Chain A
Amino acid sequence: MAKRSIVPFGPQHPVLPEPVHLDLVLEDETVVQAVPSIGYIHRGLEKLVDKRDFKQYTYIAERICGICSCGHGLGYCMAVEEVMGIEVPERANYLRAIWVEMSRIHSHLLWLGLLADAMGFESLFMESWRLREKILDMFDETAGGRIIHSVNQVGGVQKDMDATMLNHLLEAVKDIESDIKPVVNTFLQDYTVQSRLKGAGVLKKDDAVTLGAVGPMLRASGVEYDVRMLGYGAYKDLTVAPITSTDGDCYGRCEVRLKELFQSFDLIREAIGKIPSGDINVPVKGNPNGEYFMRIEQPRGEAIYYVKGNGTKYLDRFRLRTPTTSNIPPMVEILKGCQLADVPILILTIDPCVSCTER
């Protein structure tokens, strides 16, 4: 029997953008067990509902994470709106969808850059992040912030996009889409990328469901599940279909995210084409009294926002179940049996977001 040893991985590691720790039990170079450990940056943001009223809390929700900021604001506001029975103006729904899809593009491009960097493919990393800059510039122009957007509010959105802005966004989407094609081809066809990703970290379809995988991690294993299919907000009028892959390996997870980029471009174009005129928010009267579990599709997968109000301006409870929380158990599973050298790539392909997880 091979000698067993334990190798600590993280919390600081070149491939990890945020701190997470794993104890890897090895037999020679093969991982036989991985014990995850988080908790380096827990901030207790959910508890702040005691001190910030439900309208102010939108500001906190948007700051749970710098990558999923727009989606967190949206999920929180939609949960409160469900509790209060608020009908949001249609234009606000479309604006929200446009920003959330821009957010998905920015998140996936960020991830692609990190993946390329982890593989040592520096030019691909720089090209992915160069394209991401263009989306961040569009966020700056439309929302006034590159990372934290502060566009959502209970009852609608805070900012509108005029026709000039929407046209500029259409042009930017067209530019990015054409620039991104060589990057996508490299990720999907390059020999080096394929040799690192194909067949690595396979998550079978049944395991993906049993272990609670969500988002691209789940869809790469062949499960057609995308919460946008529920038709919340403007998605009821937009064309969404889950993008899947069948192999369930690192390459499949990369392929799903790459295809989702083009789906987001299409959704932005469709939303801009269909956006109605009108108000962007409605006045909110009263306080939330009741509870609701709201689900939205964040770039990393299904996120669940629970809100419980008691009729006062302070909520009893806000809870966020992040996609990464759900993707840690399947990550631990795919690490079993892999080679030590593949661990960084396998961890990256779940696209862990530790700030969200330790909100």
Chain B
Amino acid sequence: MEYKNEIRKITAAEFFPAVVHMKTENWRLVQICATCIEGGYEMSYSFCLRYDMVTLRLEVAEDEEVASITQIYPCAFIQENEAEELFGVKIKTIKPDYKDKLYRIDVETPFKKKE
């Protein structure tokens, strides 16, 4: 079967409209992944429509805030809370926000790159 599996880089300004666009086009959210890069994080939001998969790739600085997409995709809450708790990505207005208590771990942001 032929199917799409691509990564599209987007800017912070394009991010929210792009997610809204995916929603209006009936793409379902399949995963959110945070990765540490120099000076910040790479956030990957993957969506599927039938068997096609598109990943929106957003780079955020370490102290930069990124908007939660739970208003558009309520099912994003677990993976956004995970990115916030494990990596320290600043995601604002996650609903519900577990305030770094999704996983009951003692270490703060254990997946964040240490100096």
Residues of A within 8 A of B (CB): 35, 37-40, 42, 44, 46-47, 209-212, 214, 225, 227, 229-231, 291, 293, 295, 302, 304, 306, 308, 316-317, 319, 321, 325-326, 328-330, 358
Contacts and interface: CB of A to CB of B under 8 A. Distances in A.
A358 B103 contact: yes
A295 B53 contact: yes
Contact of A39 (B26, B35, B104): B104
Nearest to B110: A44
A328 B78 contact: yes
B68 interface: no
Interface string B91-111: 000001010011111000011
B71 interface: no
6 A-B pairs closest in CB distance:
A39-B103, A329-B75, A321-B31, A212-B75, A42-B103, A39-B104
B44 A39 contact: no
Contact of A308 (B35, B74, B111): B35
Contacts of B98: 37
Contacts of B73: 212
Contacts of A231: 1
Given A211-B75, A317-B35, A229 B1 contact: yes
B37 to A, nearest CB: 8
Interface string B48-59: 001101010000
A225 B52 CA distance: 11
The secondary structure that dominates the A interface is mixed
A143 B74 CA distance: 41
A163 to B, nearest CB: 32
Given A39-B105, A210-B75, A321-B79, 19 more contacts: A37-B98, A39-B103, A39-B104, A44-B111, A212-B28, A212-B29, A212-B30, A212-B75, A225-B50, A225-B51, A293-B44, A293-B53, A295-B53, A304-B46, A316-B36, A319-B33, A321-B33, A326-B75, A329-B74
Given A47-B110, A321-B79, A316 B103 contact: no
B11 interface: no
Contacts of B5: 293
B9 to A, nearest CB: 12
Contacts of B33: 306, 317, 319, 321
9 contacts: A37-B98, A39-B105, A40-B104, A44-B86, A211-B74, A212-B29, A306-B31, A321-B79, A329-B77
B103 A38 contact: yes
A211 to B, nearest CB: 5
A74 to B, nearest CB: 17
A212 B76 CA distance: 9
Contacts of B31: 293, 304, 306, 319, 321
Contacts of B3: 230
A39 B86 CA distance: 12
Interface string B65-86: 0000000011101110000001
A227 to B, nearest CB: 8
A295 B96 CA distance: 28
Residue of B78, B105, B110 ringed by the most chain A CB atoms within 10 A? B78
A35 B79 contact: no
A214 B28 CA distance: 11
Contact of A42 (B26, B30, B51, B104): B104
A356 to B, nearest CB: 13
A326 B74 CA distance: 11
B35 A38 contact: no
B110 A302 contact: no
Contacts of A227: 51
Contacts of A46: 111
A211 B36 CA distance: 28
